[in-house]
Amino acid sequence: MPYLPVAKPSLPAALLVLSTLAMVAGTDSDATTQQLFGTVEGWGVVALSDGDEFRGCGAGQEQNGREVGIALRADGSWLLVFWIPTPQGELPVQLTIGSRHWDFRATGDGNRISFAPSRRMLDAIRSGGALTISFEGTRFTAPMTGASDALAMVQDCVDHSGG
């Protein structure tokens, strides 16, 4: 299984992550606007709007040419996105965060994989341990340093409708 190492996150890459995250989060990418809400421990957090309609907030960071995104839609649903080359369609996925492990199916879209995390997955992400996602011979590991603060900032962003 190929192992993809990680590197330091950068804010410009995080904003690129969030731009694509807007598409995945169900907004019209041509009409989507982003407003920087803040940064925390290498995560860039933005509010996403479609015209005058607030859609949600997301946090993103780049790790060695791969991006990780976490979004909270205005309706309260979370979304995790990993920009990794993937096959199209539904894929069997293994996710490990610290000592916790999940097997489930997620959607591959050619250049990314996304899914709605369970509450337990979000709790594990908040712990800040390393996250490893594996599917069809690909393995990507990302340290989730600062993820707890990023999730809190995303929640705060949504609670204030991005303002």
149-162 confidence digits (pLDDT tens): 999 999 999 999 88
**DSSP 3-state of 148:** helix
The predicted pLDDT at position 162 comes to: 85
Given this model, what pLDDT does residue 152 score? 96
Residue 116's alpha-carbon distances to 25, 31, 36, 104, 134, in angstroms, are 11, 24, 23, 11, 16
pLDDT for position 29: 52
Do 99 and 119 meet the contact criterion of CB atoms below 8 Å apart?
A: no
Q: How far apart are CA 98 and CA 35, in angstroms?
A: 32
Alpha carbon distance 66, 58 (integer Å):
16
In whole angstroms, how far apart are CA 57 and each of 6, 47, 60, 130? 24, 4, 10, 23
Arithmetic mean of pLDDT over the chain: 82
- Give this prediction's pTM: 0.81
Q: Tell me, what's the pLDDT at 110?
A: 85
Q: How far apart are CA 47 and CA 39, in angstroms?
A: 12
* 2-40 pLDDT, tens digit each: 333 333 334 444 454 555 555 445 545 556 778 889 999
Q: Report pLDDT digits (tens) over 45-98.
A: 999 888 888 889 999 888 767 888 999 999 999 999 888 888 899 999 999 998
3-state secondary structure of 159: helix
pLDDT at 125 over 80: yes
Give the domains, in start order, of the chain with CATH numbers. 3-159 (2.60.40.1880)
